[in-house]
Amino acid sequence: MNKDTTQIFMTELDTYLFGQGTHYEIYNKMGAHLAVKNGKEGVYFVVWAPKAKEVYVVGDFNDWRAYGYDMKPVSDGGVYELFVEGARAGQCYKFLIISQDGEALYKADPYANAAQLRPETASVITDLTGFKWTDDKWVENKKKEDHLSSAMSIYECHIGSWRKQKDGTKDGYMNYRDIAHELAEYVSDMGYTHVELMGIAEYPFDGSWGYQVTGYYAPTARYGTPKDFMYFVDYMHKKGIGVILDWVPAHFPKDAHGLANFDGSCVYEYADPRKGEHPDWGTKVFDYSKNEVSNFLIANGMYWVDKFHIDGLRVDAVASMLYLDYGRTEGNWVPNKYGGNGNLEAMSFLKHFNSMMKKRFPQAVTIAEESTAWPNVSGDPDNGDCLGFTFKWNMGWMHDFTEYMKLDPYFRKFNHGKLTFSLMYAYSENFILVLSHDEVVHLKCSMLGKMPGDKDDKFSNLKLAYAYMCGHPGKKLLFMGQEFGQWNEWSEERELDWYLLDDESHKQMKDFTKKCMLLYKNYRCLYETDYRPEGFRWINANDKDNSVYSFIRISPDNNKHLLFVLSFTPVKRNKFRIGAPLKGKYKLVLGSNEDIQKKTLTAVKGDCDGYKQSLLIDLPAYGIAVYEFSGDLGIDD
């Protein structure tokens, strides 16, 4: 152990900054840290319990007996500390907190870096130092990257059900290290740039998928140790894949060992149940008005980037944070001081979080899952009312898009605007187009199951859907299993239906998704101008009678533009005429039936769609035709 551990112990400055909500490295102080005091090795414990009557630390090192292990207040702010000689890494512990009413509460450490595997609930003393990272170049490049103009295609993954062990173990979970190799190979081959992981911070109930967290600073023990997870991230970076974590600062569960009623009072949650409880979820809501709670969360987001080199955080349930009446009936919520339904404290928290994350860790992105039309969710966090996220999930696009795709093709001409409307607001935020886990559970059907028609029609429609998603402005996210057309809805209890890839239809589906992902990654026009209106142009947005959509994605250097022509009916259309923006050759780079589609087209004279030349395209049923062309379309690099 490093003998110089003086920096671990709490100082007056530490408690002051924590009380102000600005101690961004509080995780280096709070919790349990290996230390040396007076030449003796042990563990230094720190906990915040502002209304506690007494606080003890109990664990394997003292046979879980409190006598003689009472923690001492560091200041009058409710921070307690104790150095325990002889305590060591790997031992389990909890804080025994005596409330003002005399109730004995055995609580897991909110700042613990590891926890027991459920159903056990103790925290585990852990040493995070000593891992040899090999991703320095990756991190430095990410710091200099313009995230908005870079490619981002995300494979959303629940690693506990992506693949299972075949050795008959109880849960069948793979270790972080083992799954890193298989997942990196698969994701790289498919052409994705990032993985987004569900459920990494420790949680007690498998069915919550990790969205009801009890250990915000502890990678879940389901898949191994914290250093195993470090290896996972380091290996993904080695293979050129970024890692995004789902992060839940909106609410937490009521489990007895967790944050709820932490010292016998409402420490982390709002005291008023009209603000402090989510009636739909049965969870507690963080009290963002308390500096220490805000500090706990903001430092937690930074902790994952600092200690585990995470490339981004997708913030769950942002709408539930912003609206005081979210999920609440009339009379059961508390207006803000202006009489409105906006949570002013949550707004300030999110701005603070995004601003400091951008300043301290520019290599990491923040992503809001915000399901309403709340303005200025993404953008500069230091600019007025902007919340400051790097990106926002495009839930409006997702809803309209899936509703359109579910329609019988005959009725699509009456719903033509469901696909064009998203371009009316596409540049109001830095959007990510998402087809996430939420869309393939709870009787919503898998993506393939949503598609109309017989088996062949379903596969053709899903390929068409992914081709449109590829061409639409915005970064991309697709949930695991949907790339090869899984029939079953997703369940955390079983692995994906990989056996389907023995079927040629599913194999072709996977190959087509791969083509879309590689097309996206290899063409600048599909990502560099995502948030610049001049990067997109309709050829014809109004051909509702044929349900054909044609548009171009424009490259900033006028080289390798892409023309998309997509037909959303099973009608075969020979020599279908569309306007061509430039004279010359157009090369097919993605098609629904590339064996029979012409590899090269030449623009011919003849006005169409406002252009002086046109193309005659043979469109198969559910036709997909994407052409590369070059020339000056009037956009500056």
**CATH assignment at residue 92:** 2.60.40.10
Does 119 sit behind a cis peptide bond, omega within 30 degrees of 0 on the bond before it? yes
CA–CA dist 9, 14 (Å, integer): 9
Does residue 368 belong to any structural domain of this protein? yes
CATH of the domain at 621: 2.60.40.1180
Tell me if residue 316 is catalytic: yes
| Ordered DSSP codes for 176-213 | HHHHHHHHHHHHHHHT-SEEEESS-EE-S-GGGTT-S-
Write the burial class of residue 452 (CB in 10 Å: 0-12 exposed, 13-18 middle, 19+ buried): middle
How many domains would you assign to the chain? 3
**Residue 625 above 90 pLDDT?**
yes
Which is nearest to 566 in space by CA: 527, 538, 524? 538
- Please check whether residues 90 and 213 belong to one and the same domain: no
Residues 5-44 have pLDDT tens digits of 768 899 999 999 999 999 999 999 999 999 999 999 999 9
Q: 477 and 433 in contact (C-beta within 8 Å)? A: yes
Q: Which of 316, 345, 528, 530 is catalytic?
A: 316
* End residue of a domain, out of 124, 158, 188: 124
Q: Are residues 105 and 247 located together in one domain of the fold?
A: no
Domain membership flag for residue 597: yes
Residue 383: partners with Cβ closer than 8 Å, 6 or more residues away:
none
Q: What's the whole-number mean pLDDT along residues 355-363?
A: 97
Backbone angles phi, psi at 168, to 5 degrees: 80, 15
Same domain, 215 and 362: yes
What region, left, alpha or beta, does residue 517 occupy, with left being phi > 0 and alpha being psi -120 to 50 degrees? alpha
Supply 180's token pair. Answer: 């890193």
Pair of tokens at residue 275 = 């603000």
Question: Are 98 and 215 found together in one domain?
Answer: no
Of 393, 410, 426, at which residue does a domain stop? 393
Tell me, yes or no, whether 77 and 214 share the same domain. no
Q: Among residues of the chain, what percentage have pLDDT more than 90?
A: 93
Domain assignment present for 136 = no
Considering the domain boundaries, does residue 477 fall inside one?
no
Per-residue pLDDT band for 168 (boundaries 50, 70, 90) equals low
Same domain for 217 and 337? yes
Domain range holding 30?
Answer: 6-124
Asked if 392 contacts 430 with a C-beta cutoff of 8 angstroms, the reply is: yes
Cα–Cα distance measured from residue 375 to residue 347, given in angstroms and rounded to the nearest whole number: 12
Find the catalytic residue in 156, 277, 369, 530: 369
Residue-by-residue DSSP string for 366-383: EEE---S--S--BS-TTS
3-state secondary structure 567-579: ECCCCCEEEEEEE
Q: What is the mean pLDDT of the chain?
A: 96
Residue 162 lies in a domain: no
Instruction: Tell me, yes or no, whether 214 lies in a domain.
Output: yes
Q: Extract the tokens encoding 288.
A: 């963002």
In a domain, 170, yes or no: no
Known catalytic membership, residue 369:
yes
Q: Cα(277)–Cα(458) distance, rounded to whole angstroms?
A: 42
Q: What is the CATH number of the domain that holds 305?
A: 3.20.20.80
Q: In terms of domains, do 290 and 380 share one? A: yes
**Do 255 and 373 fall within a single domain?**
yes
**Does the pLDDT value for residue 464 go beyond 80?**
yes
Domain end point (choices 393, 409, 435): 393
Statement to judge: residues 213 and 327 lie in one domain: yes
One domain, residues 250 and 354:
yes
Residues 210 and 120 in one domain: no
Residue 462 lies in a domain: no
Average pLDDT score over residue span 201-218: 96
Point out which residues pair with 70 in neighbouring strands: 56
